[in-house]
Amino acid sequence: MAKHEDPVCKMVIDEKLAPEKYDYKGKTYFFCAKGCKDKFEKEPEKYLAQKTK
């Protein structure tokens, strides 16, 4: 029951319930909606840079 954070809106999503997902640089990102995925696809680095690791 893995949970993932939507990198665009920061919502936490259950992997099985995520309506959208996208593979980028070998990692899968999950999104609450197509709109979030579309934003991420356009500027993935922008959203990944915001995340503190």
The residue ranges that bind Zn ion (CB under 5 A) are: 6, 8-9, 11, 32, 36
CA distance 16 to 13: 8
CA distance 13 to 31: 7
Q: Provide, rounded to whole angstroms, the least separation between the CB of residue 25 and Zn ion.
A: 20
Q: Provide, rounded to whole angstroms, the least separation between the CB of residue 40 and Zn ion.
A: 9
Nearer to Zn ion, 6 or 47 (CB): 6
Q: Provide, rounded to whole angstroms, the least separation between the CB of residue 33 and Zn ion.
A: 5
As given in the structure block, the two tokens for residue 11 are: 């919502």
Amino acid identity, position 32: C
